[in-house]
Amino acid sequence: MSITLSRISRRTVAAFAVALLTLFVPAVSLAAPFDRLSQLQRDADALRDDGVTGVSVTLETPHGVRTVRSGVGDLSTGQPVAADGYVRIGSATKTFVAVVLLQLVGEGRLSLDDTVDGWLPGLVRGHGNDGRRVTLRQLLQHTSGLPDYIGDVVPDLSAVGYRANRWATYTSRQRVALAMQHPPSFAPGSGWEYSNTNYVLLGMVIQAVTGHSWEYEVRARILRPLRLTRTLTPGNWPFLPGPHARNYQQFEPGGAVTDTTIAYLPFDADADGSVISTNTDTNRFFTALVQGRLLAPTQLAEMQRTFEVPGDRGFPPGTRDGLGLFWTPLSCGGGYWGHSGDGFGYLVWPATTSDGRTIITVSLHSRPGDESSATRQHQDVTTLVDHALCSARRSPTSI
């Protein structure tokens, strides 16, 4: 989801409402009159007109692949958004981690009912947090109640703060320790609250079970089998490989934008949100997942057992959370699976139909500083996805 939904904790959001930069930039493709542009292009242009510096969309259906771009990939040069360029996928990383964890469940090496303390003894303690009461399922589904560490690694939400702190590195253990300085949101299993700490812990559990880092297991179990050659687990390497669009963050309403293409390592470098990919690779991953090429039927069914997301959390109405996978309803009936991700200056929104035959990934390359723009841009993204998936169902050759 947007930074308000996935990467930044609710207490941080209170200090920093995200929105998109109200900056007009020309569309990449305006060769045809407006009424002759595809709906997909019009929806991408609507995001540009609402302030996104650069937009890239890749839609795949049984009838082919459609890619549209709008805006620019570099404000200083006016260069177009890179075609299928590298992007940070933020919290979509969590789905990769969840797949590895569920594969281990299928292999009988752990259980979803195992406690955190059973694998990471004594790590989750303090201020009412107790890993003996938190299960792996609750981590996967954000029903653990564990506090989010994100607010502790963003001490200064400003351009100056970004530049001063972006190189700071933390171990997973240090991130968890920061979270343990705060009380839980609720008793384990009694509510729902998105917390990046959950997936930092799951990355640590994967290492405890396998003896390998979660990155190693993602590469061995997902990237190599699916031949996702343009998906990377960069760790503390902060740069995007080329080609890529530049990312821009507006840190206060009406303020200047800051180039945030360099990762903010305090929260861009762990199992909760560090993967780099492309729209095409992201589509391939989610397609393979829902089509059962990564998980056995029992584990995929577990992943798709959902919990209703409370209506006041900023997610689209009707959203439900599985195990590292969200379900969102469509206006034409049914819904789609996916897991968006974001950070300073970027947002990626993948969405696939249940059969994996129609899949779209939307990438935005700027984030703003006012809440009204955030709401508007969030609606633009969900509208684009809804139009694309519903149109593909009704008339797949006319998108």
Q: 141: buried, middle or exposed (CB in 10 Å: 19+, 13-18, 0-12)?
A: buried
Amino acid in the structure at residue 245:
A
- Read off the tokens for 364: 């935005």
Strand locations in 182-313 (E) = 248-250, 257-259, 276-277, 307-308
Task: Give residues with Cβ within 8 angstroms of 358, minimum separation 6.
Answer: 59, 60, 61, 62, 352, 389, 392, 393, 396
3-state SS class at 107:
coil
Per the annotation, the verdict on 91 as an active-site residue is: yes
Provide the H-helix boundaries in 222-296: 224-226, 279-290
The answer for 51, left when phi > 0, alpha when psi is -120 to 50, beta otherwise, is left
- C-alpha dihedral sign at 273, 277, 279, 285: negative
Catalytic residue among 91, 185, 195, 274: 91
Amino acid in the structure at residue 328:
T
Catalytic residue IDs: 91
